[in-house]
Amino acid sequence: MNKVVFDIESLAYPLESFDEEQQEYITKFVKTDEELEDAKLKMNLSPLTAQLLAIGLYNPDTKRGKVLYQSDVKENFFSEDSMIEFIGTDEKGILTVFWEDIKRYNQFITFNGRGFDSPFLILRSAMLGVKPSRNLLPYRYDPKIHCDLLDQLTFYGAFRRYSLDFYCKAFNIKSPKSDGITGLDMKQQLYEEKRFKDIAQYCIGDVIATAELYKIWNDFVNV
């Protein structure tokens, strides 16, 4: 079976970029400075208030992958071992290439892809006029098409949900956070500093960690 692991990175637009009514809606229940900061962080999770920064794709069998990422210049290069291709483009370009690529795979593997990545991609595509090529949210209780590891490792809610970093540490997988870069760092620093390649590297780290977690699930848990 042809498989692909994918993961996305998103970034909220500044609150000030929305009109007065939209800002009022976003901050409707905010009473303190701490609650305001929390509301701004949550904006990163909505396709209505955030943009797509990157998508990482990785075949766990061939160990080859691709990162599509936002960049202010068009660029294309490979990792030193030639296993990962990096493509810098705009947000619409990211989505266009993603929907073309995803058609080639029988199964896609994510970590919380049902709860975040897939609906985010679908709505951002609609907003930018890019037509999806696949249903990323097929029947939830059969992982043969979409294997969401957060569903599988919690047995559909039987256990508490943990972060990818937590699962990696529990299963002795190198965490993508072990290099000192976190999602918060990325959103606050890398994009503003135009360190687009660092964002791409961060994204593929999450994807490879998810692929290693999938191998453990497939070898030991998927019975």
Every domain of the chain and the residues it spans: 3-221
What is the distance between the alpha carbons of residues 16 and 19, in angstroms, rounded to a whole number? 7
- The type of residue at 61 is D
- The type of residue at 177 is K
User: Is pLDDT above 90 for 164?
Assistant: yes
Give the closest residue to 110 by CA, choosing from 35, 221, 214.
214
The two tokens of residue 214 are 């999938």
User: Is pLDDT above 90 for 133?
Assistant: yes
The two tokens of residue 174 are 């190198």
* Contact yes or no for 151/137 (Cβ under 8 A): no
* Contact yes or no for 211/167 (Cβ under 8 A): no
The two tokens of residue 126 are 């609609």
Model pLDDT for residues 184-209, shown as the tens digit of each residue: 666 678 999 999 999 999 999 999 99
Query: Tokens 């696949």 belong to which residue?
Result: 134
Model pLDDT for residues 82-116, shown as the tens digit of each residue: 999 999 999 999 999 999 999 999 999 999 999 99
Mean pLDDT of 202-223: 94
Model pLDDT for residues 32-79, shown as the tens digit of each residue: 999 999 999 999 999 999 999 999 999 999 999 999 999 999 999 999
pLDDT score for 211: 98
Rounded to the nearest integer, the mean pLDDT of the chain is 94
User: Is pLDDT above 90 for 181?
Assistant: no
pLDDT score for 177: 77
- In DSSP notation, the chain reads --EEEEEEEEEEPPGGGS-HHHHHHHTTT--SHHHHHHHHHHGGG-TTTEEEEEEEEE-TTT--EEEEEE-SS-EEEE-TTS-EEEEEE-HHHHHHHHHHHHTT-SEEEESSIIIIIHHHHHHHHHHHT----S-SS--TT-TTTEEEHHHHHTTTTTS----HHHHHHHTTPPPTTTTS--HHHIIIIITTTT-HHHHHHHHHHHHHHHHHHHHHIIIII--
| 3-221: CATH topology | Nucleotidyltransferase; domain 5 (3.30.420)
User: Is pLDDT above 90 for 166?
Assistant: yes
User: Is pLDDT above 80 for 223?
Assistant: no
pLDDT score for 175: 85
pLDDT score for 183: 65
